[in-house]
Amino acid sequence: MSDDSDDPVMALLATQRAVLAAVENLAGQVETMQGKVDAMGKTLAQFVAGTAGASGGGVGRVLTLGDRFREATAEQAARDPELRNRPIVTAAYGP
Protein backbone atom coordinates (compact mmCIF):
# COMPACT_ATOMS: atom_id res chain seq x y z
CA MET A 1 0.00 0.00 0.00
CA SER A 2 1.04 3.54 -0.63
CA ASP A 3 1.40 6.34 1.89
CA ASP A 4 -1.93 8.11 2.74
CA SER A 5 -0.34 11.54 2.31
CA ASP A 6 -0.26 10.95 -1.45
CA ASP A 7 -3.94 9.90 -1.61
CA PRO A 8 -6.09 12.69 -3.10
CA VAL A 9 -9.16 11.47 -1.20
CA MET A 10 -7.33 11.79 2.14
CA ALA A 11 -6.09 15.24 1.15
CA LEU A 12 -9.66 16.26 0.29
CA LEU A 13 -10.91 14.95 3.66
CA ALA A 14 -8.20 16.90 5.48
CA THR A 15 -9.19 20.05 3.59
CA GLN A 16 -12.85 19.41 4.40
CA ARG A 17 -12.04 19.08 8.11
CA ALA A 18 -10.05 22.33 8.03
CA VAL A 19 -12.90 24.18 6.28
CA LEU A 20 -15.43 22.78 8.77
CA ALA A 21 -13.29 23.97 11.69
CA ALA A 22 -13.03 27.43 10.12
CA VAL A 23 -16.80 27.60 9.59
CA GLU A 24 -17.46 26.57 13.20
CA ASN A 25 -15.04 29.28 14.35
CA LEU A 26 -16.83 31.88 12.23
CA ALA A 27 -20.21 30.75 13.56
CA GLY A 28 -18.96 31.35 17.10
CA GLN A 29 -17.75 34.82 16.13
CA VAL A 30 -21.12 35.62 14.53
CA GLU A 31 -22.94 34.56 17.72
CA THR A 32 -20.67 36.83 19.78
CA MET A 33 -21.21 39.77 17.42
CA GLN A 34 -24.98 39.17 17.39
CA GLY A 35 -25.01 39.56 21.17
CA LYS A 36 -23.19 42.88 20.83
CA VAL A 37 -25.55 44.05 18.08
CA ASP A 38 -28.55 43.15 20.25
CA ALA A 39 -27.12 45.13 23.17
CA MET A 40 -26.45 48.14 20.92
CA GLY A 41 -30.00 47.87 19.55
CA LYS A 42 -31.43 48.03 23.07
CA THR A 43 -29.30 51.07 23.87
CA LEU A 44 -30.35 52.77 20.64
CA ALA A 45 -34.01 52.04 21.42
CA GLN A 46 -33.57 53.75 24.80
CA PHE A 47 -32.02 56.79 23.12
CA VAL A 48 -34.82 56.96 20.57
CA ALA A 49 -37.42 56.67 23.33
CA GLY A 50 -35.68 59.53 25.13
CA THR A 51 -35.69 61.65 21.97
CA ALA A 52 -39.41 60.97 21.44
CA GLY A 53 -40.09 62.09 24.99
CA ALA A 54 -38.21 65.33 24.46
CA SER A 55 -40.33 66.08 21.39
CA GLY A 56 -43.59 65.87 23.37
CA GLY A 57 -44.49 62.28 22.52
CA GLY A 58 -44.76 59.54 25.09
CA VAL A 59 -47.07 61.29 27.57
CA GLY A 60 -47.07 59.50 30.90
CA ARG A 61 -43.68 57.94 30.19
CA VAL A 62 -40.91 57.90 32.78
CA LEU A 63 -38.24 60.45 31.89
CA THR A 64 -34.88 59.04 30.94
CA LEU A 65 -31.63 60.52 32.21
CA GLY A 66 -31.19 62.09 28.77
CA ASP A 67 -34.62 63.74 29.02
CA ARG A 68 -33.81 65.11 32.44
CA PHE A 69 -30.44 66.38 31.21
CA ARG A 70 -31.98 68.17 28.21
CA GLU A 71 -34.75 69.76 30.30
CA ALA A 72 -32.72 70.75 33.37
CA THR A 73 -31.68 74.30 34.03
CA ALA A 74 -28.19 74.89 35.43
CA GLU A 75 -29.63 75.18 38.94
CA GLN A 76 -31.64 71.97 38.63
CA ALA A 77 -28.64 70.11 37.26
CA ALA A 78 -26.51 71.37 40.16
CA ARG A 79 -29.02 69.94 42.67
CA ASP A 80 -29.49 66.59 40.88
CA PRO A 81 -26.64 64.18 41.76
CA GLU A 82 -27.09 62.21 38.51
CA LEU A 83 -26.75 65.36 36.42
CA ARG A 84 -24.25 67.27 38.54
CA ASN A 85 -21.07 66.01 36.86
CA ARG A 86 -22.33 66.27 33.28
CA PRO A 87 -21.14 69.26 31.23
CA ILE A 88 -23.78 71.70 30.08
CA VAL A 89 -23.27 72.64 26.43
CA THR A 90 -23.92 76.29 25.70
CA ALA A 91 -24.00 78.43 22.58
CA ALA A 92 -20.35 79.30 23.22
CA TYR A 93 -19.43 75.93 21.70
CA GLY A 94 -21.31 76.61 18.46
CA PRO A 95 -19.81 77.68 15.11
Range picked from 1-10, 19-28, 59-68 for highest mean pLDDT: 19-28
Report the mean per-residue pLDDT for the chain: 76
Mean pLDDT, residues 51-68 taken together? 62
> Is 72 or 60 the better-scoring residue by pLDDT?
72
The answer to whether residue 44 scores a pLDDT higher than 80 is yes
Q: What is the mean pLDDT of residues 42-65?
A: 66
Q: Measured between alpha carbons, how far is residue 84 from residues 10, 55, 69, 80, 81 in Å? A: 68, 24, 10, 6, 5
Instruction: Catalogue the long-range contacts made by 23-31 (C-beta closer than 8 Å, 24 or more residues apart).
Output: none
